[in-house]
Amino acid sequence: MNPEKIYPRSQDRETVYLKNVITDPNITAGDFTIYNDFVHDPRRFEKNNVLYHYPINRDRLIIGKFCSIACGAKFLFNSANHSLKSLSTYPFPIFFEEWGLDIGHVREAWDQKGDIVIGNDVWIGYEAVILAGVTIGDGAVIGARAVATKDVPPYTIVGGVPAREIRRRFPEDVTEKLLAVRWWDWPEEKIQQHIFDIQAGSLEGF
């Protein structure tokens, strides 16, 4: 096990450990989180998948450990949100030179929704979209091409446009135990010892 390398599999150049290809200080990913891209170079995740993410906003993308992010998943940040408080959705402050405006008002062109926070052990499906200000709970699943416009509780499967709850993955008592155990924070050796228990859905093995 080596979470510091870029490619988890020796013959696979479509899957990367995300934290090792990120350079933007406002984007973080936890150990063993993977991104797969069979269309583009997965090392260009910041450029191709994290959109409207400009330094002026200081908004962040925070991704936990052991997440699985499928090809084409997108994270849309605050600058995509043309202000609805204005009488016009046209982003006049961005074009301050054209309209003789003060550069200090650029951020008024869009509504501020906040950071995007992805928990641990989250699966984000093919071409899913996560909008600014959304938090995805630990163990959640975002269906293919779903658009997550609001927070998703832990261990919940959502799908559709906008994304709606399909079902909970486990009964409430099991979810509570998993959130308490936080297996993703265990030492690698302990995780390795319990991989079969995790795959089998066996809490007793913990």
Give the tens place of pLDDT for each residue, 141-191.
Answer: 999 999 999 999 999 999 999 999 999 999 999 999 999 999 999 999 999
145 in Cβ contact with 128 (< 8 Å) = yes
Give mean pLDDT, residues 92-111: 90
Architecture of domain 15-169: 3 Solenoid (2.160)
Global confidence as pTM = 0.93
pLDDT > 80? residue 32: yes
Known catalytic residue at 82: yes
pLDDT > 80? residue 106: yes
> Can you list the alpha helix ranges (DSSP code H) found in 141-206?
172-181, 188-193, 195-200
Quote the CA–CA distance of 181 and 175 in Å, as a whole number.
Answer: 10
Query: Which residues of the chain form CATH 2.160.10.10?
Result: 15-169
Give me 122's structure tokens. 């989250």
Q: Tokens 């008002």 label which residue?
A: 105
| Residues 6+ away with beta carbon under 8 Å from 191 | 183, 184, 198
Side-chain half-sphere exposure of 90, counting CA atoms within 13 A: 5
Q: What pLDDT, on a 0 to 100 scale, did the predictor assign at position 202?
A: 76
Catalytic residue among 53, 82, 105, 194: 82
